[in-house]
Amino acid sequence: MKILRLSTILLSSAAVWASYQPTYSDGLSSIDPSKWTQNGNLSAASNGIGGNGSLISTVSVPTGADYDVSMTIHTANQGACSGSYSLYARSTPNGATAYVLTLSAGSIGLFREVANSWTLLSSMPYPCADGIVMRLVVRGSSLTFWSGPNTAAYQDVAPITTGQPGVGISSSEGDTIANVQLGPIDYLPPAAVNASAIETSTAPNRVDLRWPASAPDANSAGLQGYAIYRDGVYLGSTRAPNWLDQTVSGPESTAYSIYAADQHGSVSAPAQVTVQVPADPGAKPKTGAAAEIVLRKPSAKNVPDGPTADQREIGVMPTGSYWGAAGENIDLLSGNLNFSIPLIKAMGRGNSSVTFNLSYNSQMWRQDTSIWLLGQDVGLGLGWKLQAGSIEPMWYGGSELYYLYTDATGAQYVLDQSNPYTNVWTSLQTYVWYDANADILHFPDGSFWNMNVVSALVEQDGGTQYPSQMEDSNGNFLS
């Protein structure tokens, strides 16, 4: 089972600086020896410094060893990054002991370096590009880092407690780093979410929440987002003031807590709301040990019968009943209109092929206490998707509760039957199975897809996994 460690909690975030004022800014068109201790061979130009080495700041930050440091990368080779680029925190003047955030070869890693001995603390994939901003915030034993729009956080159990910020580069292709900013930590928390203004909408296997956006304090570096807990268990974080919880299983009463957090790790008081999740009209009642097993799992199939059920039946399922003659499929049970166009048929060796459908599902709105938008705009227009298929993990308490498989028509299938020894997930609704250790989706005909292309969390489908390679049982593949 995969564990969602603090080192991989991702928040979609833009580096919104509001009225925040850094202590020191430097374009690095020259190296000021009164502000920097230089290590290695570096040279300055109008677009920043290049070469192989580091600069460790001698400027004092008002908040001591807690601070915010950022820089911009400039590339010389058609926007491609050719070297490695580093931010330092709590560094000795020679850079031998420090936290080091390094972007290189399409990934970013946070290291603890002690007397030139390196330990990898956290990492995430991220492509480097011209103009990308790297940013590192250190506060107590907590570190938060940015690479472009993505964010990760790490809590160090053996923290380095003193030292200065710095920057570094190792590139022989003319790349540079510039626009360094060093600033203090803002310890004031953002305003708490207004609990009385939280709106909720429920179905047996989902709860929708939304609330008015919180505001950071006047000197804040910007709002980071919101952390969502249910009954004291962490569900996830979001930049947007809304959340969809698909890990409930009615009937039950459950309490949500919403915390607003700024980009320096200050967290508001929780806003709490209690929600009554209705029973699934189509589920058989369970008692005793069986009830405990399925408490947090979705039922195999939600039957849309009655006012509390989720009436959505998107996509086209083999067991459904549909009407239509010109590419449209109207679900006779729910009324959903699905329109699919086989837009691309990718051909592989041995006549293997995969069809990518452009599909539209009409049931993207719901009205109960208010109007809710359930659809997404993933770049093709609201309600439209272009895909062969996808996998989305559903997290609860730091581990996967189940996976949601979506086919080319938009139909969704719950993979919630797991083998704890192999981490293979199967379903009561379809015959596909997912190997979560290898990120491979298997099909009954022997074909399989490598599901290791992950949508960035700044996107509406953030965290969704798509195939990078599709292979049939004879070894023919598309990639």
Do residue 253 and residue 327 come from a single domain? no
List Cβ neighbours of 196 (8 Å cut-off, separation of 6 or more).
none
pLDDT band at 300 (very low <50, low <70, confident <90, very high): very low
Do residue 347 and residue 453 come from a single domain? yes
pLDDT value, residue 59: 97
Do residue 331 and residue 223 come from a single domain? no
Residue 256 lies in a domain: yes
* CATH code where residue 217 lies: 2.60.40.10
Residue 449 lies in a domain: yes
pLDDT value, residue 475: 85
* CATH code where residue 39 lies: 2.60.120.560
Do residue 244 and residue 132 come from a single domain? no
Do residue 473 and residue 348 come from a single domain? yes
Residue 342 lies in a domain: yes
Q: What is the reported pTM?
A: 0.80
Per-residue pLDDT for 373 more than 70?
yes
Distance from C-alpha of 54 to C-alpha of 446, rounded to nearest angstrom? 52
Q: Of 137, 155, 184, which one is at a domain's C-terminal end?
A: 184
Q: What average pLDDT does range 219-237 have in this prediction?
A: 89
For Cα atoms 270, 273, 275, give the angle at the middle one, nearest 5 degrees.
150
Do residue 32 and residue 157 come from a single domain? yes
- Which residue in 115, 117, 121, 116 sits closest to 101, CA to CA? 121
Range of the domain at 128: 21-184
Average pLDDT, the chain: 86
pLDDT value, residue 344: 86
List Cβ neighbours of 107 (8 Å cut-off, separation of 6 or more).
123, 124, 125, 126
**pLDDT tens digits for range 230-270:** 999 999 888 889 999 999 988 999 999 999 999 999 999 99
Residue 318 preceded by cis peptide, ω within 30: no
pLDDT value, residue 374: 87
**pLDDT tens digits for range 179-196:** 999 999 999 999 999 999
Do residue 355 and residue 462 come from a single domain? yes
User: Count of domains in the chain?
Assistant: 3
Q: Of 224, 250, 277, which one is at a domain's C-terminal end?
A: 277
Do residue 45 and residue 119 come from a single domain? yes
Residue 393 lies in a domain: yes
